[in-house]
Amino acid sequence: MTAYVADESPKSIELLASDDLKSWTTAGTFSTSARWGTEDGPKTWRVDKSIVARYWKMSVTQTHNGVPPTIHYCKLLATAAGGGGGLEIMRAWYGGPHNHSGPVEHGNSLHHSWLWQIGDRKGKDVTSTIRSHVRNGELNFNPERRGCNDLFGFGHPWSCFKILVIQYRYGSGPVQTWFSNSEPWEPHHCYLAAAPSGGSVAPDVATSQQTGQPGTTLGGASRAGPAASLDAASGTPVPYSRLSIYSSTPVHGWPRGEEAQYLLDEATSAPSNWGTSKWNAQTGGRVTLEITVNGPPIRLSHYALKSANDYPNRDPRTWSLSAEPQHGEPQEVHRIPDDGRKWAGRWQWREWQVAHKFAASKFYLTIEGNHGDVHCTQLGQLRLFECGVPEQTSAQGDVRGTASCTIEPRLATELAEAAWNGEFEKARSLLEREAPANTEAHGGFSNGHHSALNGASRNGHAEIVTMLLNQQVRPDLESRCQGPWEVTPLQQAAFWGRAECAKILLAHGASTSAKSGPGCGHKTAREIAHDQKQNQWRELVSAIDAHGKRAVGAEGVAVVIGSVVGSSMCASIGSSSIEGAAVKGEEVPPLIEIVELMKRELGLTGNVSEVVREGCAQLGVSAEGKTLIEQAKECWLALA
């Protein structure tokens, strides 16, 4: 709470909670001994009682001068369900399997015998180090993505891949586990918010300044600022504490040089011998910046890039920006095909509008060329702006609405309900109004905990299942309903004998090996269908048995997981490869396994999209008009 006038500031406060607006329970009483005003900043109090309520009321029972209080603003901060406090690091470990070489296939599982082992070529307890990085209640460990061997004092005699595992909880809530990816040089970065998703203070200028985050303006007084269009009305700057960045072309040999992390700060001077807070990649060719959003995914309104301090011919000339949703592959959302003009000067901002209808947790800025320097490509700073600025009222009292591009949770819930009820036209209308097909990612459920895809599959609404899976951002094929059943959409279709829905799900890659929760006996979709024997269960079981098998039809056209492979594909990879795979009846492996195969067989490096792109080039596979998954499948067939 912030008081406006010190003399009229609250002295005694009572916080009340209710579920029906009739019966109120005292959640806490608070007091202050001295007057406080706007210049003193906000006052905060912790509620010791564990109370869950729908309505909250704050009553000022006494002010410092006895007159009615003048309050600037008041906010409530929620805690995690089942919890009653902030972030607590339980334990942390850094290591891997004994004498292991290559990536660690941990699968986010706690059931590994080597996990938590301490000793030479096993691992190290790093709990105290991780706890030391908690600031203002949040953990932001290694945002610059330095090698963790040095950070943990691990040394270098054991040169295998190692991972970082952190267990934490909020208050008295359940213990959760965070796993790092398995990457060369272990540049692991972990961000855990001070409060769980849904339990943070609404962002505003006051909280940004209090937590030390950048404000809404770009640049600083000592350097040229951004264009006038870069203001809060066109999007909210994403705080740098929520972002981490990694370059596909690291600056080898410069451990404190002009690295990618310097794009995520306001400085012009770096704590290094090079003296400049900029990113300088040692290549004049293609380079990708991978930007990860820590916390909830976001939708961009626009982004901005700042030129570096010198050498204009190192400025980017052509590039693309891609966004990666929570469940899906990266999709290009903006492209500069050939930007002939350079930045107007050094340390200058330029900005570009972006439009995409889905929230993303990762972005890829791929620079394909600069203005002529064959040795280096560089940038001074990067900014992302998030959609969704509240409407503002002008001095004349009229509302100046800003086009919010955030996804309304209400639309996700309405879509889930329409899918459950089989209301095709309503579902289509909601999708046209930008309701997310992946309702599960936006809190949209019906009749318990059924996502739109889960509910439509359960009740046999095949047209809606097809429509959902044909959206730009597809729903999660493995989204589960509430416990104890915890079944996937395919298992729902199996339980109720919805053969048509099952065929559609299988064609889009639904897992036949996934097992249900205890309510259905930890069984696969096939086992569930055979047990229940409802409706078209025999047809459904036959579809599952045939799933993944490829057969050559009467016209010599191969079928790969429900998709017809035409002559153009045969011409690019050779019909013998397709027929060989079809005869063997092998199931196409998941995308990540195909990527790992191409890395081993073709000697490729990079992220998923880069490996697939380079794999297509080496194998002569045409990528035109195909999704990333389709390209990867063709590469796999060519390697078979």
DSSP string, 553-608: -TTS-BEETTEE--HHHHHHH-HHHHHHHHHHTPPPPPHHHHHHHHHHHH---SSH
pLDDT of residue 322: 92
Rounded-to-integer distance, Cα 147 and Cα 42, Å: 39
Please tell me whether residues 281 and 367 are part of one structural domain: yes
Q: Residue 215: which residues within 8 A CB-CB, separation 6 or more?
A: 205, 208, 209, 237
Query: How many structural domains is the chain composed of?
Result: 5
Q: Which ranges constitute the DSSP H helices of 422-461?
A: 424-432, 452-458
Please tell me whether residues 170 and 42 are part of one structural domain: no
Q: With a cut of 70, which residues of the chain have pLDDT below it?
A: 4, 19-21, 38-41, 48-50, 52, 54, 72-73, 75, 77-85, 155-159, 172, 195-234, 250-257, 269-275, 326-327, 339-341, 355-357, 388-409, 472, 548-587
Q: Is the peptide bond before 484 cis (omega within 30 degrees of 0)?
A: yes
Sign of the CA dihedral running 428, 431, 435, 436: positive
Please tell me whether residues 380 and 237 are part of one structural domain: yes
Please tell me whether residues 533 and 434 are part of one structural domain: yes
pLDDT of residue 383: 93
Please tell me whether residues 45 and 97 are part of one structural domain: no
Rounded-to-integer distance, Cα 471 and Cα 89, Å: 39
69: in domain = no
626: in domain = yes
- Which range marks the domain in which residue 590 is found? 559-639
34: in domain = yes
447: in domain = yes
Rounded-to-integer distance, Cα 178 and Cα 163, Å: 11
336: in domain = yes
Please tell me whether residues 379 and 296 are part of one structural domain: yes
Q: Which of 480, 512, 546 is the last residue of a domain?
A: 546
Q: Which of 63, 97, 112 is the last residue of a domain?
A: 63
pLDDT of residue 48: 64
Give the domain CATH number at 347.
2.60.120.260
Q: For residue 73, what are its two tokens?
A: 């603003």
Rounded-to-integer distance, Cα 290 and Cα 322, Å: 10
pLDDT of residue 291: 94
597: in domain = yes
202: in domain = no
What is the identity of the amino acid at 367? Answer: I
Please tell me whether residues 375 and 244 are part of one structural domain: yes
Please tell me whether residues 243 and 382 are part of one structural domain: yes
* H or E stretch at 452: helix 452-458
Q: Which of 499, 523, 546 is the last residue of a domain?
A: 546
Please tell me whether residues 262 and 336 are part of one structural domain: yes
What is the identity of the amino acid at 413? Answer: T
Sign of the CA dihedral running 140, 143, 149, 153: negative
Please tell me whether residues 236 and 361 are part of one structural domain: yes
pLDDT of residue 340: 65
Nearest to 440 by CA among 400, 468, 460: 468
399: in domain = no
Please tell me whether residues 606 and 484 are part of one structural domain: no
Rounded-to-integer distance, Cα 286 and Cα 366, Å: 7
Rounded-to-integer distance, Cα 23 and Cα 574, Å: 75
Q: For residue 585, what are its two tokens?
A: 């009846």
What are the backbone dihedrals phi and psi of residue 447, each rounded to the nearest 5 degrees, phi first? 45, 55
Give the domain CATH number at 533.
1.25.40.20
Please tell me whether residues 39 and 10 are part of one structural domain: yes
**Integer angstrom CA distances of residue 544 from 18, 511, 518:** 51, 10, 22
Rounded-to-integer distance, Cα 526 and Cα 529, Å: 5
β-partners of residue 165 are: 93, 179
Q: Write out pLDDT tens, residues 544-554.
A: 988 855 322 33
